[in-house]
Structure 1
Amino acid sequence: MTQLHFRRNRRLRTSNTLRSMVRETILTKEDFIYPIFVIEGENVKNEISSMPGIYQLSIDRLMDEVDEVVSLGIPSVILFGIPATKDSTGTGAYDEQGIVQKATRLIKEKHPELVVVADTCLCEYTDHGHCGVVHGEKVLNDPSLDLLAKTAVSQAEAGADIIAPSNMMDGFVIAIRQALDEAGFEDIPIMSYSVKYSSAYYGPFRDAADSAPQFGDRKTYQMDPANRMEALREAESDVLEGADFLIVKPALSYLDIMRDVKNSVLLPVVAYNVSGEYSMVKAAAQNGWINEKEIVLETLTSMKRAGADLIMTYHAKDAARWLEGK
């Protein structure tokens, strides 16, 4: 009989212990950043209909959520604000008594060790729902930078540990970096939404943050989903302008982009496991079509395998429990 020569790759899969010993990608709760939506008002805990298990929370209900996050060992949260009123220039974004600023101060008072990331954008605060200053139906780039810089400084003054600008205006990183430095916040890092596509996966978030555009769309400033090399140009720009982390958003349909970015930069890369990705899993799980735990952990692991150092995810609390065997 002719002796066959082939590799026996299964030898390293023969037991759970052996598989664990040779596992290449390790997902931990320390990888997670948990998004929280904070809204003006009192005693508000509104479940977002398109995002089961995720809530809009008023300041007086916020700490129950934050206490749970801390108890689970999740190291960081990112805050999104829903103001009581909106206007054309999003003044609530940079008001020292704005909703994110108030929430940040409270969290840092109660849990100073928790890393608070402040989403720095205008869309939740503008009555037109765009991420910058609007003239007619055109979103103006350079005038928007001044407002974004003011927002970043006000968030840093409130105690935010990381500024995360998500607006995709050209030059937004350097404008914010200069403003932070001039205000004495040289040590506050910028987690840039560097590679942010104009994606249909954001739909549920816009319900949560009440931030849908009132006209047009965001395709003139967010990226075309068909483009790959453009992502590397955006990442390079933000590195040169002084970013400290780079976010790829969305994550699941852009794992190839995440790997490209990770291979091209030396900065930490952050995956944003966005609302649409979350909602699809929750809907399928509620219908009994999938094993939610296994799907979520596999999905998050794929993001780390693709190059993510950190993951923003609405699954963070559940995933932290599952990783601890709960």
Structure 2
Amino acid sequence: MHSTDRPRRLRRDGVRSMVSETDLQPTDLVAPVFVDATTDERVPIESMPGHERVPVDEAVARVEEVLATGVEAVMLFGIPESKDEEGSRAWAEDGVVQRATRAITAETDATVITDVCLCEYTEHGHCGVLEADARDDPTLTVDNDATLDLLARTAVSQAEAGADMVAPSSMTDGMVGAIRTALDDAGFDDVAIMSYAAKYESAFYGPFRDAADGAPAFGDRRHYQMDPANGREALREVRLDVEQGADVLMVKPGLPYLDVVSDIRREFDHPVAAYNVSGEYAMLHAAAEKGWLDLDAVARESLLSLKRAGADIIVTYFAESVAAEC
């Protein structure tokens, strides 16, 4: 029997764009910005070509560069001037992220999302208060419940500085509930929470830890970040965050976890975000520098795959370059 079904008819120029199923726009993207309180000039991030740590005084200028490409949202990460055991600069009124947020919200129309975690601020580089003897016993790491109050204090301080959305990234059990309660009690019930609801203990984070100076001084994060082998567990983690009041559900990393993005999209009616992380960015740059890949093409294809899988929002270091091509 002769078949009349020929999908190639819809791949002709002029028709192809009309039937394209997935559309990528600059407003889908969030650009990470690293603000460094220890420097008075921009410092290139060697493992992330094209990105820099910027001093607080240049945070506005950096965000204006992002806005010029059509991207409307930034996520701020801070490198503090000092660190201590608890990470107290994370919630300081004059902390690096708080100062940058005030300046950016006063002088631009950017949507400001702030990272809520302690790893950049603690001497030990872990995402919270250490359990007793954690430095000597690899089975011990972060005291979950003792960390909640510090994360809540950090989120409130960022909201006071003008953050539109806070993004807790520590995978601390109960973090969304603690932060939601603290924000509401402080009068910031309109500040949204983008929870890193399914964050894996991934090998793709290396360049970021270099950029944010947040690598653990000992041990690793396998006791509080998710096992890369687990997919079903992600739905349990996400459901808990939804019940506690998360507004946006983040999966991190993005590309190795497209199945998780897709599962969450089908299971929940909340906006879904995916973090196209530093290792994903760096490996494409490295291959392009070898002449093995077309950087612009693979960057766009990578982000399209995240959008196709179900991500409404994509946090990516490719935000500016891809937005310029949209």
Q: Does 1:204 align with 2:207?
A: yes
Per-residue displacement from partner, 1:105-146 (whole Å, max 9, x unpaired)? 0000111x2100000000000000000100221310000000
Q: Does 1:76 align with 2:79?
A: no
Match of 1:102 in 2: 99
Match of 1:318 in 2: 321
| TM-score, normalisation: structure 2 | 0.96
Q: Report the secondary structure of 2:123's partner residue.
A: coil
Q: Does 1:132 align with 2:128?
A: yes
How far off is 1:62 after superposition? 2.0
Give the residue type in structure 2 aligned to 1:190: I
Provide closer, same or farther for how the CA distance between residues 265 and 197 of structure 1 changes in structure 2, counting only shifts above 3 A: same
Q: Report the secondary structure of 1:78's partner residue.
A: strand
Alignment check: 8 A CA contact 2:38 2:79 kept: no
How far off is 1:66 after superposition? 1.1
| Residue 277 (structure 1) aligned to one of 280, 290, 315 | 280
Which residues in structure 2 correspond to 1:1-326 (within 5 Å)?
3-5=1-3, 7-15=5-13, 17-111=14-108, 113-135=109-131, 136-137=133-134, 138-323=141-326
How far off is 1:61 after superposition? 2.2
| TM-score, normalisation: structure 1 | 0.96
How far off is 1:69 after superposition? 1.0
Q: Report the secondary structure of 1:262's partner residue.
A: helix
How far off is 1:14 after superposition? 1.9
Alignment check: 8 A CA contact 1:37 1:208 kept: yes
Q: Distance in 1 between matches of 2:39 and 2:146?
A: 34
Alignment check: 8 A CA contact 1:27 1:301 kept: yes
Q: Distance in 2 between matches of 1:42 and 1:212?
A: 19
How far off is 1:233 after superposition? 0.1
Q: Report the secondary structure of 2:177's partner residue.
A: helix
How many residues of Structure 1 are paired with residues of Structure 2 in the alignment?
A: 319
How far off is 1:84 after superposition? 1.1
Per-residue displacement from partner, 1:75-99 (whole Å, max 9, x unpaired)? 1000000001100000000000000
Structure 1 residue runs of 4 or more that deviate by more than 3 Å after TM superposition: none
How far off is 1:202 after superposition? 0.3
Alignment check: 8 A CA contact 1:228 1:257 kept: yes
Q: Report the secondary structure of 1:285's partner residue.
A: helix
Alignment check: 8 A CA contact 2:194 2:246 kept: yes
Q: Distance in 1 between matches of 2:98 and 2:59?
A: 13
Q: Distance in 2 between matches of 1:246 and 1:228?
A: 15
Percentage of matched positions with identical amino acids: 54
Moved more, 157-166 or 55-64: 55-64
Alignment check: 8 A CA contact 2:273 2:314 kept: yes
- Over aligned residues, Cα RMSD in angstroms? 0.9
Give the residue type in structure 1 aligned to 2:116: T
How far off is 1:7 after superposition? 2.2
Match of 2:138 in 1: none
Per-residue displacement from partner, 1:215-264 (whole Å, max 9, x unpaired)? 11100100000001100000100000000000000000000110001111
Alignment check: 8 A CA contact 1:124 1:210 kept: yes
Alignment check: 8 A CA contact 2:38 2:80 kept: no
How far off is 1:63 after superposition? 2.3
Give the residue type in structure 2 aligned to 1:124: E
How far off is 1:41 after superposition? 3.7
How far off is 1:162 after superposition? 0.1
How far off is 1:6 after superposition? 5.6
Alignment check: 8 A CA contact 1:30 1:73 kept: yes
Alignment check: 8 A CA contact 1:42 1:60 kept: no
Give the residue type in structure 2 aligned to 1:272: Y
